[in-house]
């Protein structure tokens, strides 16, 4: 009996599950593998957030179904609204324009289920975060991929999207600061994009979990700052990357009331709410965490400089983006991304992500993550250097 539903047949196992399998296999074979492949901060969640969780966990009131069940506690939504006001000067109504999520990734699923019909087009960027495509396919919709090219600063040339595609497109997924390229958008780009999307009746979603991981503070942006954004846009954010809370599964969707309410209807019928104690600790993180974010940025900056120096010494110029903790590194002429990643794995015991894991326009690059301890990063770079001439 074929138990697999048709909607899953074209969807591969999630990329990072495949990578975790590779890591386990290498470890079982006794290889001292260094993974630079996954964007999961190695530093623990700051102590003051854990303390807030400890207090909240001890309160039996938090052991029951979450308060305000599906959409998040009112105090959590208030904190999100304060956070967006303080960081981006974006005013959000916590009653109607904020939804708590079990991690940002949950929002991608609810957005698509709530707004996209079978046969619709959803515009995504290539390279892009693999979860978009998987959810689009699950909904019986079609992904139209716009290339992100270095010559355009890894921003999509949206004005060139054919009219026939725009007519069928329900939504456009963006992600700035961008995984995997590290590129940041600017206000002018967001303003032009929102105006264009309005004329075409296309909903916009900016996936913004790296909003705080930006090296020039002036470049930290929210799509919701663009004029008219609240009519057609939502933004998803997360505590995962900025507060070293990937395991906690907590994020938020904000923006256009109609989209937020539609997502909420999907959420209340599927995953319900989030453990109150996690929401309460997250409020503390958002209100008091700026200093810790600065500390993490200094760490990523130091690691980024270490990598850039190592590649420069091998004669490989790497132009870093201004955001995220990823480096998008060109592979040498004549090699494919996969070939390069396999050589690094087999000959150096260093796991990186081949660019093609994010789409066909990822060919020619590998992605390297700075979420490893400094000494392991140095070791990995030393191993890569020892292959000089063989890979680069
Ligand atoms: C672009 C992008 N969106 C979403 C996520 C997932 O965020 P969360 O941990 O909040 O689900 C990631 C994690 O790597 C990401 O890179």
Residue 33 belongs to what H/E stretch?
A: none
Verify whether ligand 1 is closer than 6 Å to residue 135 (CB atom).
no
Please give the Cα distance from 111 to 171 (Å, whole number): 10
pLDDT of residue 367: 98
Mean pLDDT on 67-72: 83
Please give the pLDDT value at position 28: 86
Query: How far, in Å, from the CA of 305 to the mean position of ligand 1?
Result: 24
Ligand 1 centre distance from Cα of residue 103 (Å): 8
User: What residue owns the CA closest to ligand 1's atom 13?
Assistant: 39
Q: Establish whether residue 206 lines the binding site of ligand 1, counting it when its CB lies within 6 angstroms of any ligand atom.
A: no
Among the atoms of ligand 1, which is closest to the Cα of residue 241?
A: 9
Bridge partners of 157, per DSSP, are none
pTM of the prediction? 0.95
pLDDT at 15: 67
The reply to whether ligand 1 has any atom less than 6 angstroms from the CB of 207 is yes
235 lines ligand 1 (CB under 6 A): no
Ligand 1 in contact with 129 (CB < 6 A)? yes
Which has the minimum average pLDDT: 8-12, 165-169, 209-213, 235-239?
A: 8-12
pLDDT above 90 covers a percentage of the chain that reads: 87
Alpha carbons 308 and 317: distance in angstroms, whole number: 8
**Average pLDDT score over residue span 304-332:** 95
Can you list the positions of beta strands (E) in the chain?
A: 34-35, 98-101, 121-126, 142-147, 169-174, 203-207, 233-238, 251-255, 326-330, 350-351, 353-354, 365-369
**pLDDT in the model for residue 16:** 66
Tell me how far the alpha carbon of residue 209 lies from the centroid of ligand 1, in angstroms: 6
Q: Can you tell me which atom of ligand 1 is nearest the CA of 238?
A: 10
Shortest-distance Cα residue to atom 6 of ligand 1: 105
What distance in angstroms lies between residue 188's CA and the mean position of ligand 1's atoms? 25
């Amino acid at each position: 009996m074929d138990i697999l539903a048709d909607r899953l047949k074209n969807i591969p196992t999630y990329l990072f599950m495949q990578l975790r399998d590779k890591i386990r296999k290498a470890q079982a074979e006794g290889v001292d593998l260094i993974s630079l492949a996954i964007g999961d901060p190695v530093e623990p969640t700051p102590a003051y957030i854990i303390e807030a969780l400890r207090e909240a966990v001890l309160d039996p009131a938090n052991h029951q179904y979450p308060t305000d069940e599906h959409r998040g506690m009112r105090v959590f939504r208030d904190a999100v609204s304060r956070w967006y006001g303080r960081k981006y000067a974006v005013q959000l109504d916590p009653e109607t324009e904020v939804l708590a999520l079990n991690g940002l990734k949950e929002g991608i699923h609810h957005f698509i289920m709530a707004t996209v019909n079978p046969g619709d087009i959803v515009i995504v960027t290539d390279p892009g975060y693999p979860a978009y495509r998987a959810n689009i396919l699950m909904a019986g919709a079609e992904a139209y991929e716009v290339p992100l090219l270095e010559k355009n600063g890894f921003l999509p040339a949206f004005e060139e999207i054919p009219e026939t595609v725009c007519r069928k497109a329900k939504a456009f997924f963006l992600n700035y600061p961008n995984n995997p390229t590290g590129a940041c958008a600017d206000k002018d780009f967001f303003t032009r994009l929102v105006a264009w999307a309005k004329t075409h009746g296309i909903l916009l979603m900016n996936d913004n979990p790296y909003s705080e991981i930006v090296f020039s503070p002036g470049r930290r942006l929210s799509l919701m700052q663009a004029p008219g954004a609240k009519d057609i846009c939502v933004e998803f954010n997360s505590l995962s990357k900025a507060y070293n809370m990937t395991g906690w599964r907590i994020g938020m969707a904000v923006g256009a009331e109609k989209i937020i309410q539609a997502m909420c209807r999907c959420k209340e019928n599927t995953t319900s709410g989030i453990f109150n104690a996690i929401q309460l600790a997250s409020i503390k993180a958002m209100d008091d965490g700026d200093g810790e974010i600065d500390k993490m940025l200094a760490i990523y900056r130091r690691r980024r400089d270490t990598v850039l120096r190592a590649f420069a010494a091998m004669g490989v110029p790497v132009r870093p983006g201004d955001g995220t903790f990823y480096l998008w590194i060109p592979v040498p002429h004549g090699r494919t991304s996969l070939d390069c990643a396999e050589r690094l794995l087999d000959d150096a015991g260093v796991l990186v992500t081949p660019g093609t894991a994010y789409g066909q326009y990822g060919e020619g690059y590998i992605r390297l993550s700075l979420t490893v301890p400094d000494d392991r990063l140095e070791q990995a770079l030393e191993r890569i250097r020892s292959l000089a001439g063989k890979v680069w």
